Structure formats: structure tokens, C-alpha cells
Chains A and B, each alone.
Chain A
């Protein structure tokens, strides 16, 4: 038996496991293989004696904090998705109602009156006034969305 052939048995020999008489005979007469077995035993001893690293005192608290962050993130994501869906739906419905009222002529804003009211402030208000209808509708939609958001948040707390 050659040293190379014995290489696979070194750990078994170090652990005291049974090996073939050939292998035993080789080790008995080979200083190199004896050194390998000795090294394997030393490695085994050192592995057993290795210090077991202990977690820090605050480890559990740190994990719980991260888990809470994780939970919060998931809840935020679900909340945000829900709010966006609800708001979008509501805005679409509201736009439809406003459009309907507009088409029947039941809802309009007198641009001239608004313009007269704002001319005293500054020249740029005239530009603003021409967009008054759009702005009013926008503010109404935004207020509705915010009110809905507030209501949904209030329900989930």
C-alpha cells in the first residue's frame, strides 16, 4: 500500500474506526502517514475545543425589532395598495358624476365672476382664473381622496 492510497483512510484512523490490516501495517511503518494521522487527530481536538461564539445580550431584541420593521413594511405595502385602489376607484366614480352633471348643465363655474374677484390681486391671477373650473374639480377630488384615506386609516388603527 502506498501513502496516496492511505490518504482516504487518515480521518477514519484518527477517529479510531476499523481499517484493513494492510492499512494498519502501512501506518505502523510510515512516519509520514503517522504524522498525517496525528495532524488529523490534532484538527479533531481543536475543532472540539473551539470556542462557541455566543450571541450578544441584545440579540433577541434586535431580531424582534427587525421583525417588527418587516411586519410594518408589509402592512404599509398592503395599506398603500388598498388606499391607492380605493382612491383611484373613488376618483373615477367622482369624475363620472361631475362629468354627468356638467353635461346636463347642472354644474358650471362663471369664469367672469371669478376673474373679476381676482384682478385686484395680481396680473397672474387672470391666468389662474381661466383654470378655475379645473382647479375646483381638482381640489374637490383631492379632498375626497384625503377624506377617504383618513377614513381608511381610522378603520385600520
Chain B
């Protein structure tokens, strides 16, 4: 979607055109739902939270100045909603556990992918929300580094660094707590 058509869609939404807002929901629902559902395992709750995102988008339309892309703005709302949703305190520091990871033996390497996937999903839930959404967004294939950088208000290089840190923390969790 180019900037001009994005602007037109926004204007129509602001004028109260219901059909325009429906188009906006249709356009971004897959991205929003995927990001939310990957962070909230309860499917029903994920649906409610994804709807909340769009209700917030609707409420925020009058004050959205259009200085960033709609997707960037929506992504930021997703992060905020997920942070608000995630009430339990983050138990993992951003820079990792500080523990020396135990060594992996041959038996560990033979874990099948199903087991590893299950452990990884659990470990993902332990990541700080920002890291969690960053990883989820990046691996959805639709979210470019540039968009992530704009949404998180960080330089491009920092986003890449954060992504590495997020994956490192995920690996640490797998090596220590989810073996």
C-alpha cells in the first residue's frame, strides 16, 4: 500500500466512513492477530486482545498525525496492549540470566524438533514483551527490520542487536530452564 492510498484510507476513516475502517481491519488483521496470538496462548483471549488493538486504533484515529506508517503505528499499539496484558513481572533480565549455561551433550542434540518446539514456545513466553514481539514480528516475514526499527523507535542497527539479544536470551532459557 503506497503512502497516498494509506493517507486516503486514513482520511476516510477519520470522516467516519465505516467501510474504510473495515478495509483497514481487513488489511492488518492477519499481522495483528498473528503477533497477539503468538504472545497469548489462550486463543479466546488472543481474539479479544486483537480486537482491543483495533478498538484502540479506532479511538486513536483523530489524534494520529500520519507521521509514521499505519503499520508502524498499529505495531506500536500491539506492543502497548501486550505489555498491558502481561501483568506478571518479567523475571528475566534483558541481558540474560548471568548463569553459565550447562554444556550440551550428544543426547541433547538428539531431541526431536517437536520437543524443542514445545520448549521454545514455553521459553518464548518468558521473554520480555518487547523481545517477544520483536521475535514474533521478525519471523512473521512481513515485518521488515526498518518497520520494526520505526515501531520501536530504535536505530536499525540497534534492532538487529536487540534481535540477537532476544534470540540469545531464548537460547539461554532453553539451555538452562527448559532443557
Contact = CB atoms under 8 A, between A and B. Distances in A.
Main secondary structure of the interface of B (DSSP, over half): helix
Interface residues of B, number: 42
Contacts of A12: 164
Interface stretch (B75-83, B84-92, B99-107): B99-107
B59 A43 contact: no
Interface stretch (B2-10, B63-71, B147-155, B166-174): B166-174
A21 B87 CA distance: 45
A55 B21 contact: no
Nearest to A67: B58
A66 B171 contact: no
A48 B100 CA distance: 27
Contacts, number: 99
B30 A54 contact: yes
Given A53-B38, A54-B30, A55-B47, A46 B116 contact: yes
A121 B48 CA distance: 60
Contacts of A157: none
A142 B59 CA distance: 36
A70 B30 contact: no
Given A53-B43, A62-B51, 5 more contacts: A36-B175, A46-B113, A56-B47, A64-B25, A67-B18
Top 6 closest pairs, chain A to chain B, by CB:
A53-B37, A35-B104, A55-B33, A32-B103, A47-B139, A63-B54
